[in-house]
Amino acid sequence: MGNMHRMILQKLNIAVMARVAIALFLATVLAQHVAVAAEKKVLKIAFRAAETGFDPQRIEDRYSVGICENFFDSLLTYDWLALPVKLVPQIVDKVPEGEEGGTRFTFHLKPGIFFADDPAFNGKRRELVAKDMEYAIKRFRDPVNRSPYSWLFEDKIVGFDEFVDAAKKNDKYDYDKPIEGIQVLDKYTISFKLRAPDYNFLYFFAMPIVVPVAREVIETYAADTMAHPVGTGPYILKEWVRRSKIVLERNPGYRGHVLNTQYANPDDPWDNDAVKALTGKRLPLIDRIEISPIEEEQPRFLAFMNREHDYIEETPFAFISQLLPLGKLAPAMLKRQVRVQRTEEPEITWDAFNMDDPIVGGYKPENVAFRRALILAHDRSQEVNIIRRGQASATMSPIPPGVVGYDPNFKAEDQEYNLPRAKALLDMFGYVDKDGDGWRDMPDGRPIILQFKYRANEQEGRQIAELWVKCMSAIGIRMTTVAVQFADLLKDRKVGKFQMSNLAWIADYPDGQNFLQLLYGPNTNISNDARFKLPEYDRLYSAALKLPDGPERSKLYREMNRLIVAYAPWRLGVNRTFSQFINPWVLGYKKHPILYTAFKYLDIDVPAQQASLEQ
Amino acid sequence: MSAAFMNTPSTAPAAPLHQPSPGLWMLAWRRLKHDKVGMVSLAVVIIFLLMMVGSYTGLIAKNWSKEAGVSYANPSFMAGAENLEAVRTKADPNAIKIEPVDLSDIDPLAPRYKEWAERTAKIKTTETPRAETLPFGGDKWGRDVLQKAIKGAETSIFVGLFAALFAVFIGTTLGAISGYMGGKIGDLLEWFYNVFTSIPYILLILAFAAVFASSPQLAAYKGVPMVVAILAFTGWTGIYRLIRSEYIKHASREYVKAAQAIGASNSRRMFVHILPNVSHVCLVQLSQHVVQFIKAEVILSYLGLGVPVDSVSWGTMLAEAQSELVIGKWWQLAAAGISMAILVTAFSMLTDSLRDALDPKIK
């Protein structure tokens, strides 16, 4: 055998050798795959970024949080099919109504929900109780956890801030000490009292990080809670090789769930597929999920093309014209019966002006005119078509589609590219060339040199800056650019050390308030990077906070949108559209706007999967 | 300097002849003339330098930033090929007509709406149609990559040349002082040199870039001057070492002692007597570093620390080309890559030939 091999190899040229090697490799992989798949439904996919870990109260990146959706059950969740998204109970009996004017929310846990088995429970089955939720909420502000989401519960629940202050003073974070606003009324009931009405408080309880955890587990694995997620959800962590492999397996003790088809849209083929594939079945159906974080775009794309992965989500824009030329599936994809699902994410991008800046800031008519002129001169269609390769649409208001409060009929003409209007506005307010150097100056004669800060090491950031410089020079305004490291950029923006910069925000929860808070005056130095402080806007914002979703609140949102367009602290950017490509054997696939993973609602046609791999 | 040169051949070991005769430079030139590779390289380098001057003065590639073509316009010789990227930019979104929101009750500009509209009506804009093809293809904005490569050459060669000049200046000055003086000063400079070389090169560049970026006084020189300074401040070490060793060697030679005997000062001995005799080393180092810095500029720009976004260099072109290659738009990579390869190769060959010509003993 060995001899024969050598003889063959000597005769073949390199290219053929390579082909043989690949074929042998594929054969081996295939054999393994088939052997495993024969017994189980196995799903293999990639994530576009590495995870950090699975301690829900310690993480913030989408990918880790997305995996936690499968280990833990949040009290509430989103209906899988309803659009716009709808809050539904997950492990509580119903979505609570806000009591006491929207300041009290009481949850009743369903009895008989058990945590996945774990050595920390000493061989006993451990039932989920209200105290577990209280413990998890307290963990958010335990300094040990350094939770990136501690702000959710700051200045929110009665007595919590005082509890944290006392803990700081005594140098002991005492989990046994009660908090006035978090009352465990009985084994299954927990009630929260808020300082001020907040109808979005309920959304917190649909976040996959605001989930009950068992104190025994956290204390047993105190040294590495990231690697020991023990929850009540459909999956458990089977294997974890940090930053390279995450394997989930079905939780054998899981109670099971079904697909609610009540809100399915009969005109949506994806909904119909999901209904057809999953109705009447006890979910989950997938036995094992293997996730490989692959940060490089090309290998992630090739893994899908080589059928190593069952679907690819958020396909890199660079490959879109290969898979989806002119918006239609490429012939090669059609032949493979691959389907594409395109989703507009609940996120926006924008370019912020620093409202405290002596050149671009200010609220006087001439300041407003200057910003508005810059916006009118900025050719956003080039950002959409060239920088985002057509995989985005120009946004018209700070609230993106798919988020409560989004208004499809809101069109801001003053955010549309219009060179003559821009020039006319600058001329009208005296922003003309005064010193004869060919560039426009301030009405008082100061020269204008704008500065745009962007993220270094990233082509997209550079292109956005390039577009601005180009557009500004077209109206005679000089602009320089500075590239800074991402961490520094975040820091600079927080403290207002910038003039103009590009930013993005993705919904934490699907309410417009999550976006409108980005311009709320008191949020300066927290999330209001533009440092926008307009009393009228702040008044509307506070008023909207006290209202439940409805026409009255929508009206306030619209008013705020109008103020944003009029005072122009932002140049509104784009809503990106991501494409998901799904192999035909994956059944019931749907990309949810807020929830990140679909494993709980998927099925696989195993014979078709194997047949394709054998091809 | 050349006058000083003509006086020294009799004492300088590098000059071999005793007859009243052509000087070192003339001899070197004669040797170089016989080196075909050297001459061709020299011609190429001169062409590139002329190109740089031409583009700097605006004689060529003046309109490089003009967006004459469609996005990723095909090269003329590929006129018929499908260009999916451009189709998209032309496509008209069939958006439903929505009435724009009325701001007049809250808009601080509302009182002047009428005047604004009148002024707008007076401003005319003409839109020139974009070409489907460009001579050597277009980049994402529809700019001609050939002109871009020429403009990019200007930046890259400028950076390479001036950074090398500065680096040679720093390295030679410090090397001369250290090698000639020795003692405490020499030790001090050696320490300084060691500190610089102990830091990994890229890290050192990043550190300098950070210092430049954070200092308000220096921030005014952002862009190309900053790149030149960073490269010069980080790249002088090798030159320093070579020059220092040359000076140690020369300091004890007879001609230097003779100069001392007739009362030449230290600085005169260092820079009038010894320097011409080691200048061939400087020259070779200079051309070597030009090549090195052109490549370093590419790396810097690739990392986003290089030239500003509104100018173009080969580095920024290559950085852009990285993502273009996947979608089959190879021309920007080709334009930047080929011109850079030609210049760098020619410069390296020329350096070799210069070394051979200037220092025949090595040959």
A459·B71 Cβ contact <8 A: no
Domain count for chain B: 1
Q: Could you write out the DSSP letters of every residue in B76-144?
A: GGGTTS--HHHHHHHPPP-PPP-PPPP-TTT-TTGGGHHHHHHHHHH-----PPPEEEETT-B-TT--B
Which of B73-77, B106-110, B309-313, B344-348 is modeled with the greatest confidence?
B106-110
pLDDT at residue B94, rounded to an integer: 54
B108·A482 Cβ contact <8 A: no
Q: Measured between alpha carbons, how far is residue B195 from residues B172, B237, B242 in Å?
A: 18, 10, 17
A466·B310 Cβ contact <8 A: yes
DSSP single-letter state for residue A307: T
Tokens standing for A450? 């704008």
Percent of chain B at pLDDT above 70?
Answer: 87
A376 near A414, Cβ under 8 Å?
A: yes
pLDDT at residue A13, rounded to an integer: 45
Which neighbouring-strand residues pair with A157? A194
Question: What is the number of other CB atoms lying within 10 angstroms of the CB of residue A128?
Answer: 23
Query: Is the model's pLDDT at A180 over the cut of 70?
Result: yes
Identify residue A507 by its one-letter amino acid code.
Answer: A
Would you say the C-alpha torsion B276, B281, B283, B289 has a positive or negative sign? negative
Pairing of strands A392-394, A574-582: antiparallel
Residues of B in contact with A368 (CB under 8 A): 108-109
Residues of B in contact with A463 (CB under 8 A): 140
B305·A364 Cβ contact <8 A: no
Of A390, A462, A469, the CB nearest to B88: A390
pLDDT at residue B276, rounded to an integer: 83
Query: Is the model's pLDDT at A158 over the cut of 60?
Result: yes
- The beta strand positions in A325-420, using DSSP E, are 339-344, 347-353, 392-394
Distance in angstroms (rounded) separating the CA atoms of residues B286 and A434 = 45
Q: What is the mean pLDDT of chain B?
A: 84
CA distance B311 to chain A (A): 9
Which neighbouring-strand residues pair with A455? A484
Identify residue A230 by its one-letter amino acid code.
Answer: V
Helix H, strand E, coil C: the string for A43-78 is EEEEECCCCCCCCHHHCCCHHHHHHHHHHCCCCEEE
- Chain B's closest residue to A568, CA to CA, is B107
B156 near B298, Cβ under 8 Å?
A: yes
- Mark out chain B residues that contact chain A at CB-CB < 8 A: 65, 71, 84-85, 87-89, 91, 93, 98-101, 103, 106-109, 112, 115-116, 119-125, 140-141, 213, 222, 303-305, 308-310, 319-320, 322-323, 326-327
Query: Is the model's pLDDT at A380 over the cut of 80?
Result: yes
* Domain assignment present for B36: no
Residue A31 pLDDT level (bands cut at 50, 70, 90):
low
* Domain assignment present for B323: yes
* Domain assignment present for B128: no
**B317 or A127, which is more confident?**
A127
pLDDT at residue B329, rounded to an integer: 87
Mutant choice from B309, B313, B325, B326 vs A, greatest count of A C-beta within 10 A: B309
Residues of A in contact with B122 (CB under 8 A): 424
Mutant choice from A413, A415, A486 vs B, greatest count of B C-beta within 10 A: A413
Rounded mean pLDDT of A584-594? 92
pLDDT at residue A32, rounded to an integer: 53
Residues of A in contact with B326 (CB under 8 A): 298, 318-319
pTM of the model: 0.78
Rounded mean pLDDT of A262-268? 92
Of A382, A469, A562, the CB nearest to B103: A562
Query: Is the model's pLDDT at A166 over the cut of 90?
Result: yes
Residues of A in contact with B91 (CB under 8 A): 390
pLDDT at residue B133, rounded to an integer: 87
Go through A319-349 and write b for each residue having 16 or more CB atoms within 10 A of its CB, e for each that does not. bbbbbbbeeebbeebeebebbbbebebbbbb
Helices (H), A172-226: 201-204, 215-220
Distance in angstroms (rounded) separating the CA atoms of residues B246 and B283 = 14
Percent of chain A at pLDDT above 70?
Answer: 93
Which neighbouring-strand residues pair with A524? A528
Query: Is the model's pLDDT at A379 over the cut of 50?
Result: yes
Q: Which domain does B214 fall in, by range?
A: 48-70+138-357
CA distance B114 to chain A (A): 11
* Domain assignment present for B129: no
DSSP single-letter state for residue B199: S
Residue B25 pLDDT level (bands cut at 50, 70, 90):
confident
Which of A56-65, A89-98, B20-29, B70-79 is modeled with the greatest confidence?
A89-98
* Closest listed residue to residue A290, CA positions, set A246, A328, A320: A246
A321·B85 Cβ contact <8 A: yes
Residues of B in contact with A421 (CB under 8 A): 116, 120
Go through A233-263 and write b for each residue having 16 or more CB atoms within 10 A of its CB, e for each that does not. bbbbbeebeeeeebbbbbbeebeebebebee
**B324 or B222, which is more confident?**
B324
Of B101, B308, B327, the CB nearest to A562: B101
pLDDT at residue B216, rounded to an integer: 65
Go through B216-250 and write b for each residue having 16 or more CB atoms within 10 A of its CB, e for each that does not. eeeeeebbbebbbbbbbbbbbbbbbbbbbebbeeb
* Closest listed residue to residue A505, CA positions, set A528, A525, A535: A528
A424·B120 Cβ contact <8 A: yes
Distance in angstroms (rounded) separating the CA atoms of residues A277 and A608 = 15
B108·A368 Cβ contact <8 A: yes
- Angle value at C-alpha A156, between A155 and A159, nearest 5 degrees: 80
A258 near A283, Cβ under 8 Å?
A: yes
Which of A71-75, A270-274, B245-249, B309-313 is modeled with the greatest confidence?
A71-75
Distance in angstroms (rounded) separating the CA atoms of residues A577 and A572 = 16
pLDDT at residue B88, rounded to an integer: 64
A401 near A489, Cβ under 8 Å?
A: no
* Closest listed residue to residue A96, CA positions, set A210, A256, A204: A204
Tokens standing for B166? 């500065």
Which pLDDT tens digit goes with each residue over B219-276? 656 678 888 988 999 899 999 999 999 999 998 899 999 999 999 999 899 888 898 8
Query: Is the model's pLDDT at A496 over the cut of 50?
Result: yes
A411·B98 Cβ contact <8 A: yes
Query: Is the model's pLDDT at A36 over the cut of 60?
Result: no
Distance in angstroms (rounded) separating the CA atoms of residues B75 and B273 = 57
Rounded mean pLDDT of B179-195? 92
DSSP single-letter state for residue A261: -
Percent of chain A at pLDDT above 90?
Answer: 66
Q: Give the phi and the psi of residue A183 in degrees, each rounded to 5.
A: -110, 125
Identify residue B122 by its one-letter amino acid code.
Answer: K
Residue A523 pLDDT level (bands cut at 50, 70, 90):
confident
pLDDT at residue A37, rounded to an integer: 44
Residues of B in contact with A393 (CB under 8 A): 93
Q: Could you write out the DSSP letters of every residue in B204-253?
A: HHHHHHHHHHH-HHHHTTTTHHHHHHHHHHHH-HHHHHHHHHHHHHHHTS
Query: Is the model's pLDDT at B5 over the cut of 50?
Result: no
* Domain assignment present for B52: yes
Which neighbouring-strand residues pair with A451? A480
Question: What is the number of other CB atoms lying within 10 angstroms of the CB of residue A476?
Answer: 17
pLDDT at residue A148, rounded to an integer: 79
Residues of B in contact with A372 (CB under 8 A): 109
DSSP single-letter state for residue A457: T
Lowest mean pLDDT across A15-24, A257-266, A503-512, B195-204:
A15-24
Examine residue A358 and say whether the peptide bond preceding it is cis (omega within 30 degrees of 0): no
Would you say the C-alpha torsion A527, A531, A537, A542 has a positive or negative sign? positive
pLDDT at residue A366, rounded to an integer: 94
Lowest mean pLDDT across A273-282, A284-293, A359-368, B353-362:
B353-362
Residue A33 pLDDT level (bands cut at 50, 70, 90):
low
B101·A480 Cβ contact <8 A: no
A107 near A186, Cβ under 8 Å?
A: no
- Chain A's closest residue to B111, CA to CA, is A365
Which pLDDT tens digit goes with each residue over A210-256? 999 999 999 999 999 999 999 999 999 999 999 899 999 999 999 99
B88·A385 Cβ contact <8 A: yes
Q: Measured between alpha carbons, how far is residue A179 from residues A162, A193, A224, B54, B302 in Å?
A: 9, 10, 27, 76, 54
Query: Is the model's pLDDT at A199 over the cut of 80?
Result: yes
A466·B112 Cβ contact <8 A: no
Of B112, B140, B310, the CB nearest to A428: B112
CA distance B84 to chain A (A): 7
A386 near A380, Cβ under 8 Å?
A: no
A470·B141 Cβ contact <8 A: yes
Helices (H), A261-318: 269-278, 297-305
Identify residue A262 by its one-letter amino acid code.
Answer: Q
A322·B327 Cβ contact <8 A: yes
* Domain assignment present for B228: yes
Residue B3 pLDDT level (bands cut at 50, 70, 90):
very low
Mutant choice from A300, A301, A321, A429 vs B, greatest count of B C-beta within 10 A: A321
Mutant choice from A428, A451, A500 vs B, greatest count of B C-beta within 10 A: A428
Distance in angstroms (rounded) separating the CA atoms of residues B237 and B260 = 29
DSSP single-letter state for residue A588: S
Residues of A in contact with B92 (CB under 8 A): none
The burial class, CB within 10 Å (0-12 / 13-18 / 19+), for A557 is buried
Q: What is the mean pLDDT of chain A?
A: 89
- Chain B's closest residue to A462, CA to CA, is B309
Q: Measured between alpha carbons, how far is residue B286 from residues A409, B45, B244, B314 in Å?
A: 65, 14, 16, 21
Of B71, B109, B124, the CB nearest to A372: B109
3-state SS class at A197: coil
pLDDT at residue B68, rounded to an integer: 86
Tokens standing for A67? 């995996």
Query: Is the model's pLDDT at A15 over the cut of 50?
Result: no
> Taking CB atoms and an 8 Å cut-off, how many pairs form between chains A and B?
127
pLDDT at residue A318, rounded to an integer: 77
pLDDT at residue A140, rounded to an integer: 94
CATH of the domain at B179: 1.10.3720.10
pLDDT at residue A1, rounded to an integer: 33
Of A390, A413, A459, the CB nearest to B320: A459
CA distance B141 to chain A (A): 7
**A311 or A524, which is more confident?**
A311
* Domain assignment present for B91: no
Residues of B in contact with A325 (CB under 8 A): 84
Residues of A in contact with B87 (CB under 8 A): 326
3-state SS class at A232: coil
Query: Is the model's pLDDT at A495 over the cut of 50?
Result: yes
Rounded mean pLDDT of A75-85? 91
Would you say the C-alpha torsion A116, A118, A120, A123 has a positive or negative sign? positive
Residue A334 pLDDT level (bands cut at 50, 70, 90):
very high
Query: Is the model's pLDDT at A563 over the cut of 50?
Result: yes
* Domain assignment present for B353: yes
Query: Is the model's pLDDT at A7 over the cut of 50?
Result: no
The long-range contacts involving A119-128, CB below 8 angstroms and separated by at least 24 positions, are A119/A220, A120/A214, A120/A216, A120/A217, A120/A220, A120/A221, A120/A228, A120/A230, A121/A214, A121/A216, A121/A217, A125/A253, A126/A214, A126/A216, A128/A91, A128/A212, A128/A232
Which neighbouring-strand residues pair with A386? none
pLDDT at residue B11, rounded to an integer: 46
**A6 or A568, which is more confident?**
A568
Which pLDDT tens digit goes with each residue over B123-172? 887 777 888 888 889 998 999 999 999 999 998 999 999 999 999 999 99
B66 contacts: CB under 8 Å, gap ≥ 6: B143, B144
Of A381, A390, A562, the CB nearest to B106: A562
Distance in angstroms (rounded) separating the CA atoms of residues B76 and B71 = 14
